[in-house]
Amino acid sequence: MGYVVTKYDEFTSSENVNKAILGLSIIRMFLYTLFFIFNFNQTFKEYKIGMAKSKKFYLKNARIFSFTSITLFSFMRIAMIGVFLYDKSIYNGSIWAALSIWGTLIQYLLWVSIAGYWMSLLYTFFISKDIVAKNTNAAWTTTYIITLVLIIWTILQTIFNFYFVDLMNLIYGPIQVVIICGIGGFYVINGYILVRGMKSHEMNGSKIEKLKETYKRIIRLSILLLLFVVLALLLYLIQYQILKLEDYDKENYIFYMIVCCLEFSQLFIIMYSLGGDSFKCYFIFSFKPIENANTSFKNYSTTISTSSTSSSTRNEIELKIND
């Protein structure tokens, strides 16, 4: 038991591989710096705009959660790469590993915040419309519980990483598989129910354009995010279960490069969706809110009319989604 900082002179024993790693690390740090700057700016704008409307707007706001998650994720990756360039260590038990663990947590929270939004949309539109607020609160309570569990697990991982490396090596992989499968299952189940409900609503003659737009966007985004989850799981299985690579094997860097590409692709797609199918908003350094038709993450209200079988009276139910 105990933690000792380990610093290496080179990344690997190959000079060419070392040059490639150094170049890619610098490019990666530069790109994450751009992500950090643009999303920090947007997070600040969203916060100022939200605070003007409600002091507790952030409690059920998927937009602010998503922008904050991307900002923190980018910051953790910048710190992780900086430490890596200094001590050249990617082993469990290193500071690099701890920063990687917390970066992964923030990535999970990004996925969970999006899923939380979908759950609130599902409950609000397609399940028990007479208790909208209760169902929406239940969706976000579930999101907070999952978030708390992930944070507790990450704290335990950090302790194991520094003081119980053997235990870390033993349990890290299997539990990550469980988490990834759990989040993937969360997407599949809630996404399927939501899409089926939206499709049924459309087939029943609804002409709500915003709902149709949301249906198309969620289909597209859910497929892409689920693909990222599946690829992350496959990469882990190939790297550690099939090839059984150890920490010191230089082949690991190939997988890290692939994971890096997946991370960048995911961030681009989510930012594009948050920006209303555009990146223009990220280049506007002001407090002007995003003007777009993106209903996947945007606040809007819809009025749905329902007919009672025992009465000719039509009841108007106004549904508001505070994402």
Model confidence, pTM: 0.76
Read off the pLDDT of each residue in 158-162 and give the average, rounded to a whole number. 92
What pLDDT is attached to residue 101? 92
pLDDT digits (tens, 9 = 90+) for 274-284: 777 778 878 77
pLDDT, tens digit, for every residue of 94-143? 898 899 999 989 988 888 887 777 766 666 665 555 545 556 677 778 78
Query: Class of 15-297 per CATH?
Result: mainly alpha
Share of the chain above pLDDT 90, in %: 16
**Selected residue with higher pLDDT from 23 and 312:** 23
pLDDT per residue over 214-262, tens digit each?
666 666 777 777 787 788 778 878 877 788 777 667 777 888 888 888 8
Three-class DSSP labels, the chain:
CCCCCCCCCCCCCCHHHHHHHHHHHHHHHHHHHHHHHHHHHHHHHHHHHHHHHCCCHHHHCHHHHHHHHHHHHHHHHHHHHHHHHHHCCCCCCCHHHHHHHHHHHHHHHHHHHHHHHHHHHHHHHHCCHHHHHHHHHHHHHHHHHHHHHHHHHHHHHHHHHHHCHHHHHHHHHHHHHHHHHHHHHHHHHHHHHHHHHHHHHHHCCCCCHHHHHHHHHHHHHHHHHHHHHHHHHHHHHHHHHHCCCCCCCCCHHHHHHHHHHHHHHHHHHHHHHHCCCCCHHHHCCCCCCCCCCCCCCCCEEEEEEEECCCCCCEEEEEEEECC
Structural domain spans, the chain? 15-297
